[in-house]
Chains A and B, each alone.
Chain A
Amino acid sequence: MSLALSTLLYEWRRYMAAIVALGVAGLLVLAQVGMFMGIGKSFTAQIDRARADVMVLGPGATALFNGGPSGLPRRLMGVVYRHPEVIQVAPLDGSGGRFQNITPPDNSGGPPKARKMEFVSVTVIDPIQGYVTVPTDYSDALIETLRQPYAVAVDQTALARLGVKVGDKAVYNGKTITIAATTTGYPNVMQPVLVMSRDTLRMLGEADTGERVGPLMVKLADPSRAEIVAAQLNKASGGKFKAWTRQQLAAANQASMFKEAFIVILLGFSAVIGIFIGVVITWQTLRGAIMANIKEFASLRALGVSMSDLRQIVMELSFWVGVVGIALAGLLTWGVAWLAGVFSMTMAFPPFMVVGVVILLLLIALASGFLSLGVLKNSQPADLLR
């Protein structure tokens, strides 16, 4: 084991402030990334967990939402369906609007209590078992229930917010619907989601019935060939649509979150604060720790160890402080994500952001090490001679 690593392990208390600073700086950024990505993911949860192996979007779209118009002319459904490996094609449909609960009249003559109004978004499924639009964890009973006209399902985490319970009637965009079932595992902190059948949406007058439809969900005979089929579809598209595998689209959806200016501003702000706090605390901690061992460093200098070798020890030390800080950031973030889960809040951590934060923390640690190199000039071996 190297001198730097042994020193860090043996004198870990001395380095704790730096490690905690890095951990918290990492948490600051990662927790927000997790939150924003989680929110983004909760809007597409029903789609992400459905059986579509390939999604077909309009040619210019860069993501499902927030990525430009993603719909297509209806006639292109046929083009996609013509591929021999495609077994189901269904357009994504949805809507959104004003939701109000209906409370029983108060017999005492006062105004009705606990009236609630929320803006909700609507996701559509085709209530057929195993169909491409149906999330894989929907039970047969749930699908059966949604087959009823004007029946909707909401996630159980949204019940209180909407002020309803199963069996209640409610008003959606001025029309009466029934809260017929609940789902679990589809929390959305931003906006409650109503799930309903395509026919219910049509009866509400909000379905795509014209020339254009939403993005297409495509099920393949062999899901493992999604990449190949997507490529073949793209070749046959003539530039009129673009096929994505589900993984590609999920990644693009997450990346599209960074088109939201407020997310970028908040994350950028946090990153700057994280860098500032991280560098200052880590730098000062490293300085102090090196000063505490300055006589030992000086004795190495006396024995002829060069200044550049000592610098290397300091840089290695800061590298290991960074590594431990990253581990702590991971642990803290895991804790926060767990806590968020307890409160039904989804957090998601796209790998490219995690890698980015890891690199950021390592750079903070190395920059701090670099700034601390100055104290080594105090390692004057002549001072050891008195």
Chain B
Amino acid sequence: MSRKPRTDHSEKRGEIAIQAHGLVKRFKTGRTFVEVLKGVDFDARHGDVTMVMGPSGSGKSTLVAALSGLLKPEEGQVRALEAADLWKLSPTRIDRFRLDHCGFIFQGFNLFPALNAKQQVMTALHYQGVPKGEAHQRALQALEEVGLTPKMNQKPSEMSGGEKQRVAIARALAKNPNLIFADEPTSALDGENGQVVIRLLRRAATERGAAVICVTHDPRLEAYADRVIHIEDGRILDDVRRTPDANPAPLSH
């Protein structure tokens, strides 16, 4: 298969991809405000899988939303790639930033029921402005990477949960993102499929140099991380750099 000129960011490995200072986010519940993020500092590097762990309600998803330009924090800055302060950009520019640099993997797979695997990936590329021929090739490549070449013409209804999540990953990877945000990517999957998914994310970081930021409360995923950040009650408890296990224990047991 002929390869595109540059399909990854491996040369950036080790560089800081995203950095946040003093993020504060409040939600209004009834008459009172609940502070979900209480001045969080955060950074993540290219080539790393950064795991954000914490119990539910700890603010980890809100942190990802604030980092990725989905939810505006009340205070603090996010410096991401060339954007010195992401939240100072206009909404259109933030959309463009996500379009150019971000991949998302959600707990629910959120695939269009009408589109087959290849079309799901190509739709994302279409909106990025990738020409059709190239989009087609990149979609095939991404699906091959997640091992779904044989299923590329199948619709979500014909796929298992694990396969759907792999399509979502292919959709994110085909964009060749600098930043990949994954929110509980394995929690709707059985152990075996969960393992396939986390391995793909691991590989996206190692081989493509993407900064993978993965929110989870599954402690077994820690084995794949370069860095584990524990967050609780809107504050970072600890931030541990580690070496990913060479042969992590299987998720299913």
Chain A residues in contact with chain B, CB under 8 A? Answer: 3, 6-7, 9-11, 293, 295-296, 298-307, 309, 380-382, 384-386
| Complex interface bits, B199-213 against A, C-beta within 8 A gives 1, otherwise 0 | 000000000000000
- Partner pick for B175 among A10, A303, A386, CB 8 A cutoff: A303
Tally chain B residues at the interface, Cβ within 8 Å: 39
Residue of B nearest to A299 (CB): B110
Pairs across A and B, CB under 8 Å, 24 listed:
A6-B112, A6-B114, A10-B113, A10-B155, A296-B110, A299-B106, A299-B111, A299-B168, A302-B98, A302-B106, A303-B98, A303-B104, A303-B172, A305-B95, A305-B127, A306-B95, A309-B127, A380-B70, A381-B70, A381-B104, A385-B62, A385-B64, A385-B106, A386-B107
Residue of B nearest to A6 (CB): B114
Whether B70 contacts A303 by the Cβ 8 Å rule is: no
Chain B contacts of A296 at CB under 8 A? 110-113
Residue of B nearest to A310 (CB): B127
Residue of B nearest to A10 (CB): B114
Chain B contacts of A300 at CB under 8 A? 123-124, 127
Whether B106 contacts A304 by the Cβ 8 Å rule is: no
Chain A contacts of B113 at CB under 8 A? 7, 10-11, 293, 296
Chain B residues in contact with chain A, CB under 8 A? Answer: 61-62, 64-65, 68, 70-71, 92, 95-100, 102-104, 106-108, 110-115, 119, 123-124, 127-128, 155, 168, 171-172, 175, 183-184, 215
Chain A contacts of B70 at CB under 8 A? 302, 380-382, 385
Closest 5 CB pairs of A and B: A304-B99, A304-B98, A10-B114, A299-B110, A385-B61
Chain A contacts of B65 at CB under 8 A? 382, 385
Chain B contacts of A295 at CB under 8 A? 108, 110
Residue of B nearest to A9 (CB): B114
Distance between A313 CB and nearest chain B CB, rounded to angstroms: 10
Chain B contacts of A385 at CB under 8 A? 61-62, 64-65, 70, 106, 183, 215
Chain B contacts of A380 at CB under 8 A? 70
Distance between A204 CB and nearest chain B CB, rounded to angstroms: 71
Distance between A14 CB and nearest chain B CB, rounded to angstroms: 10
Whether A382 contacts B127 by the Cβ 8 Å rule is: no
Chain A contacts of B99 at CB under 8 A? 303-306
Whether A303 contacts B112 by the Cβ 8 Å rule is: no
Residue of A nearest to B94 (CB): A304
A6 to B123, CA, bound (A): 12
Chain A contacts of B62 at CB under 8 A? 385
Chain A contacts of B102 at CB under 8 A? 302-304
Whether B183 contacts A386 by the Cβ 8 Å rule is: yes
Distance between A38 CB and nearest chain B CB, rounded to angstroms: 42
Distance between A278 CB and nearest chain B CB, rounded to angstroms: 24
Whether B112 contacts A7 by the Cβ 8 Å rule is: yes
Of the listed residues B97, B124, B155, the one surrounded by the most CB atoms of chain A closer than 10 A to its CB is B124
Distance between B199 CB and nearest chain A CB, rounded to angstroms: 22
Whether A306 contacts B114 by the Cβ 8 Å rule is: no
Distance between A228 CB and nearest chain B CB, rounded to angstroms: 52
Whether B127 contacts A6 by the Cβ 8 Å rule is: no
A11 to B155, CA, bound (A): 12
Given A304-B95, A386-B183, A386-B184, 8 extra CB contacts under 8 A? A3-B115, A299-B110, A306-B96, A306-B127, A307-B95, A382-B71, A385-B61, A385-B215
Distance between A198 CB and nearest chain B CB, rounded to angstroms: 68
Whether A304 contacts B100 by the Cβ 8 Å rule is: yes
Of the listed residues A300, A303, A380, A381, the one surrounded by the most CB atoms of chain B closer than 10 A to its CB is A303
Whether B175 contacts A7 by the Cβ 8 Å rule is: no
Chain B contacts of A307 at CB under 8 A? 95
A386 to B185, CA, bound (A): 11
Distance between B123 CB and nearest chain A CB, rounded to angstroms: 6
